[in-house]
Amino acid sequence: MRRTRERPRSHRATRSSRAIAGGAGGGSDRGPLHGARVVLGVTGGIAAYKAVEVLRLLVDGGAHVVPVLTRAATRFVGTATFSALGSEPCETELFAGASPIPHTRLGQLADVVVVAPATARLVGEYAAGIAADLLGATLLATRAPVVLCPAMHTEMWEHPAVQANLSTLRSRGVHVVGPDTGRLAGGDSGAGRLAAPESIVAAVEAVLAGTGPGAARGRGAAPGARGGQDLSGLEILVTAGGTREPIDPVRFLGNRSSGRQGHALAEVAAERGAAVVLVTASDLAPPAGVVTVSVETAAELADAVLSRSGSADVVVMAAAVADFRPVTASPSKIHKSDGVPEIRLEPTLDVLAELGRRRRPGQVVVGFAAETDHAIERGRAKLAAKGADLVVVNDVTEPGAGFAHETNAVTLLFASGATVEVPLGPKRTIAAAILDAAVALLRERGAGASPSPSSAPATPTSGPTSGPRPQTSPHPGDRGAGDEQGAPR
């Protein structure tokens, strides 16, 4: 087996050598894992036990896997397990073995380095370029793609330092998988749970096959993307879904929003390098690499948004927030035998209007308006009344737009009076156009991080009538997420 030190980063350059390296697991599958040399880093978190399953799946796929455990990881799992299941004995120390430079050997020979779970400490050290131990040194010594699977408590995951570190790593081409939302250590529940082993292995396969998220970005995931990371350094807060206002423990006042447009916005923004917080009232799975805060009611959404909006560069209110809620919710089920109930309603806080009032200089506030008639007039009225910079109007009665559709068509109304139509397309494409418009506004104000100078999609150049159609060519990875946005009531 012959490998050169300067071999290209792409795994494709290693195909022939992989066949020689062979898969220790003897998997018959000739998929992307077959013969791939994988360094599996495991750090010290409670999710370390799940790395055993990741190891098994990788080996089953035909990969040659070298487990590298940090010292803290060995407090949670035993090296014997990893040595027994791995293709080579588990490595833990920079200086303990026969080789004086194990990290360069591991790093140079790897086709991909996977870290699962990746603790906040590992993320921070890697972002800072600190080679604190064998795994940290291997990460710096490799030119292979790196897949990081963070897992930590919600508070740590949401910490701006952790998000900034991940943003830095993403901007360097590191693939970040998860975390999921669910049960955490100590009986807590929330964002920060290690992605499922199957999802991690699928992501590794995609990276090896050249179709991973980074590869997709490289193909120009979104209009205006520069190397796919044109939103790097920006903090974007997105809301999604329809809030539910309880009437009693089994009934609520709701709306038809699914949250797909908002989730698509969060997903695309994260892929383009932004640090994204998604406040969602939707049951959709949280997008990868996004801090997701689940809410149910308009009041919960208002709290979650207003407590986080201060530091955001862009806030996008795609949620369908209830305008009214029952004054009181019955603590027990209302029964027919009680007679026809009279439900008194009271108004909720208009979060978008509040954001407009609180907006700090440079911040961009984007609202939505899902309308059934006089869409543009109503959208303009909302833009003015709520003090937004941009309102995304969609006429939900138009074919292919609005509820229960995989596609959408919107008109962007700018406070300057300009109008941009975004033609019918997958919701990810619509999301990209909205983000481009927000970035263009940020740039006009000289705020934000480093938006691409070539990102000139939906920059409003026209007057109050329809302006130029932005270049919104569909992205190969578009999933065409579902229905509406705005507040359909």
Nearer to ligand CTP, 11 or 382 (CB): 382
Q: For 10, phi and psi rounded to 5 degrees?
A: -60, 140
Q: Of residues 113, 365, 370, 431, which one binds ligand CTP by CB under 6 A?
A: 370
Active-site annotation holds for 394: no
Closest CA to 86 of 78, 95, 94: 78
Q: Which stretch binds ligand CTP (CB under 6 A): 114-122, 157-165, 367-375, 442-450?
A: 367-375
Closest CA to 192 of 202, 205, 183, 201: 183
175 in Cβ contact with 229 (< 8 Å): no
From the DSSP assignment, how many helices (H) and strands (E) are in the chain? 15, 19
Minimum distance from CB of 370 to ligand CTP (Å)?
6
Q: Give Cα separations from 209 to 129, 145, 181, 217 (angstroms).
A: 27, 11, 27, 14
Q: Report the nearest approach of ligand CTP to the CB of residue 386 (Å).
A: 6
Closer residue to ligand CTP in complex, CB, 289/367: 367
Write down the least CB distance from residue 303 to ligand CTP, Å: 13
**CA–CA gap between residue 4 and residue 391 (Å, rounded):** 54
Beta strands in 151-243 (DSSP E): 175-176, 180-183, 189-193, 235-240
Query: Does the footprint of ligand CTP cover residue 419 (CB under 6 A)?
Result: no
Q: Is 111 in the site for ligand CTP (CB under 6 A)?
A: no
**Measured at CB, which residue is nearest to ligand CTP?**
487
- The helix (H) or strand (E) run that includes residue 426 is strand 419-426
Q: Does 382 bind ligand CTP (CB under 6 A)?
A: yes
Q: Give whichever of 156 and 329 is closer to ligand CTP, judged by the CB atom.
A: 329
- Based on the shown chain and the rule CB under 6 A, indicate whether residue 486 belongs to the binding site for ligand CTP: yes
Q: Which residues contact 35 (CB under 8 A, 6 or more apart)?
A: 18, 19, 20, 21, 22, 23, 62, 63, 64
Nearer to ligand CTP (CB atom), residue 63 or residue 355: 355
Q: Is 390 in the site for ligand CTP (CB under 6 A)?
A: no
The 3-state DSSP class for residue 327 equals: coil
Which member of 38, 115, 194, 298 binds ligand CTP (CB under 6 A)?
298
Among 367, 402, 425, 426, binds ligand CTP (CB under 6 A): 367
Q: Check residue 92 and report its DSSP letter.
A: -
Among 53, 60, 88, 323, the residue binding ligand CTP under the rule CB under 6 A is: 323
Q: Which of residues 126-145 bind ligand CTP (CB under 6 A)?
A: none
Distance of CA 60 to the CA centre of its chain: 29
Which is nearer to ligand CTP, 101 or 385 (by Cβ)?
385
Task: Single out the catalytic residue among 165, 255, 394, 408.
Answer: 255
Helices (H), 63-119: 79-85, 102-109
Rounded to 5 degrees, φ, ψ at 30 are -100, 35
| 174 or 319: CB nearest ligand CTP | 319
**351 belongs to the binding site for ligand CTP (CB under 6 A):** yes
- Work out whether 263 is an interface residue with ligand CTP (CB under 6 A): no
| Cβ partners under 8 Å of residue 119, min gap 6 | 43, 44, 45, 72, 150, 151, 152
169 phi and psi, to 5 degrees? Answer: -65, -40
Residue 216 or residue 435: which is nearer to ligand CTP going by CB? Answer: 435
Residue 287 interacts with ligand CTP (CB under 6 A): yes or no? no
| Contact between 317 and ligand CTP per CB under 6 A | yes
Told to check if 300 binds ligand CTP by CB under 6 A, we report no
* Residue positions annotated with a catalytic role: 255
Residues contributing to the site for ligand CTP (CB under 6 A)? 298, 317, 319, 321, 323, 348, 350-352, 367-370, 382, 486-487, 489
